[in-house]
Amino acid sequence: MIDAFEFADELGPLKTIHVHEPSVGLRAVLVVDNVALGPSIGGVRMAVDVTTEECIRLARAMTLKNAAAGLPHGGGKAVLYGDPKMPKQDKEQLIRALANALRYTEDYIFAPDMGTDEECMSWVQDEIGRVVALPREIGGIPLDEIGATGWGLSHVADVAREYCDLELNNARFVVQGFGAVGMHTARFLTDMGAVLVGAADSRGAIHNPDGLDVVRLCEIKAAGGALGEYVDATPLERDAVIDIECDIWIPAARPDVIHEKNAQRLKTKLVIEGANIPITPGAEALLAERGILCVPDFIANAGGVICAAMEYHGASEGTVLQAIKEKLRRNTRQVLEEATRRNISPREASVDLALARVKKAMSYRRYSLFSTAPGFV
């Protein structure tokens, strides 16, 4: 028998909801982790192999991310079982059904994640209205289109490289997961003078030590193609992207891609965690022992949720991009300075920063994890 409270601690999760509607093939999980800072924001992740445990871990990452970014929102996450490349009408039916199933779960605000996008959020908007990251045509700030997460990651890299004696100009970097986040990260970093030497998508990896043409790679992906179609590079198996020697390695895909069994293969100076929970705690410890600096996920990739939260509160696109730059540069420097001063890992320093904000908010409440105030959202 599954213990429903196996993952419970002082922070949450507040609630875990399993949604099942067989008439449309809907199976999903929502985890609202902590709402002490405000209603939770977290993306809807769609994949065939998502799990409740993954959803719980991702929701906690959102609690820490939103707190560290100084947002008035808690953390939540939804996972939707299904192939994100299914026919559009089938995907739309599932997402509209999920929105209706969660219509009255007002402490969760929908957002896009892996396998969903701004168009998916427009369907949620049409059904229940409690959503962020909408298409520009209906008043949103399309975070994937403007590259909000990648914009933030590029600035995190620019600050973090100071702590590993690295110049960003001509720095060689690798992106594992060349989707919305990975493409924009590559674009912004090359604009800063760095050189993309390796990349991977779901169908394989490519490598050219002299550099890859990021514009051409983005054109291939925008047309629905695979990185393997790029001709001026050596094709590799997907997981061989771990072995490419570089200065900066950026995981921007699924959880736990670096773990205790493959961490020793990384040949880099700096890891910027573009995905959520892409490296296991044990692997992070092994990398630290080797002198590889890791900037944790909920510090590094907060650009997307900062954009989403500011859209929700009526900000403009220009204001959003400036806020992402300022917040993430400040947080990265604060975390790395604190880690150096206390001789602890960047993750420990990051968690301390986020927990202090969450626990302070919890102390103001009668019930630490939820509010009984009317109109909470």
Q: pLDDT tens digits, residue range 181-195?
A: 999 999 999 999 999
Tell me whether domains 15-138 and 148-342 share a fold.
yes
Asked if residue 1 has pLDDT above 60, the reply is: no
Asked if residue 205 has pLDDT above 70, the reply is: yes
Asked if residue 3 has pLDDT above 90, the reply is: no
How is domain 15-138 classified at the architecture level of CATH?
3-Layer(aba) Sandwich (3.40)
Residue among 272, 271, 274, 277 at smallest CA distance from 257: 277
Stated pTM of the model: 0.91
Q: How far is CA 59 from CA 36, 42, 274, 285, 329, in A?
A: 14, 7, 16, 23, 24
* Reported confidence tier of residue 127, pLDDT bands at 50, 70, 90: very high
Instruction: Give the dihedral of Cα atoms 194, 43, 307, 121; nearest 10 deg.
Output: 110
pLDDT digit string, tens, across residues 110-119: 999 999 999 9
Q: How far is CA 60 from CA 56, 77, 183, in A?
A: 6, 9, 26
Q: Return the sign of the alpha-carbon dihedral for residues 64, 66, 72, 78.
A: negative
CA–CA separation, 350 and 63 (whole Å): 12
Query: Which residues have a catalytic role annotated?
Result: 77
Interaxial angle between packed helices 317-342 and 303-312, expressed in degrees from 0 to 180 and rounded to the nearest 10: 140
What local confidence, expressed as pLDDT, does residue 367 receive?
A: 85
Whether residue 296 contacts residue 119, with contact meaning beta carbons closer than 8 Å, is answered with: no
Percentage of the chain modeled with pLDDT above 90: 92
CA–CA separation, 72 and 308 (whole Å): 12
Q: Return the sign of the alpha-carbon dihedral for residues 186, 221, 94, 89.
A: positive
Please report, for the chain, the start and end positions of each structural domain, with discontinuous segments joined by +.
Answer: 15-138, 148-342
Residue among 83, 23, 19, 95 at smallest CA distance from 48: 83
pLDDT digit string, tens, across residues 281-295: 999 999 999 999 999
Mean pLDDT computed over every residue of the chain: 95
**Residues paired with residue 196 on neighbouring β-strands, in sequence order:** 173
pLDDT digit string, tens, across residues 79-110: 999 999 999 999 999 999 999 999 999 999 99
Q: How far is CA 375 from CA 12, 47, 184, 331, 362, in A?
A: 22, 33, 37, 31, 18
Locate 19 and state its tokens: 């949604």
CA–CA separation, 150 and 147 (whole Å): 5
The residue that leads in pLDDT, 374 or 238, is 238
Q: What DSSP letter does each residue of 90-122 carry, written as one string?
A: HHHHHHHHHHHHTTT-TTEEEEE-TT--HHHHH
**Residues paired with residue 78 on neighbouring β-strands, in sequence order:** 30, 44
Q: What DSSP letter does each residue of 106-169 carry, written as one string?
A: TTEEEEE-TT--HHHHHHHHHHT--B-S--GGGT---HHHHTHHHHHHHHHHHHHGGGGT--ST
What integer is the mean pLDDT of 343-365?
A: 95
Give the start-end residues of each E strand in the chain.
15-21, 26-34, 40-47, 75-81, 108-112, 172-176, 195-201, 204-207, 234-236, 248-251, 270-272, 293-295
Asked if residue 372 has pLDDT above 80, the reply is: no
* Reported confidence tier of residue 374, pLDDT bands at 50, 70, 90: low
Residue among 46, 45, 70, 48 at smallest CA distance from 58: 45
Locate 265 and state its tokens: 């293969």
Which one-letter amino acid corresponds to residue 34?
A: N
* Reported confidence tier of residue 2, pLDDT bands at 50, 70, 90: low
* Reported confidence tier of residue 375, pLDDT bands at 50, 70, 90: low
Whether residue 241 contacts residue 271, with contact meaning beta carbons closer than 8 Å, is answered with: no
For the domain made up of 148-342, give the CATH fold: Rossmann fold (3.40.50)
Exposure string over 311-346, b if 16+ CB within 10 A, otherwise e: bbeebebeebbebbbebbbebbebbbebbeeeeebb
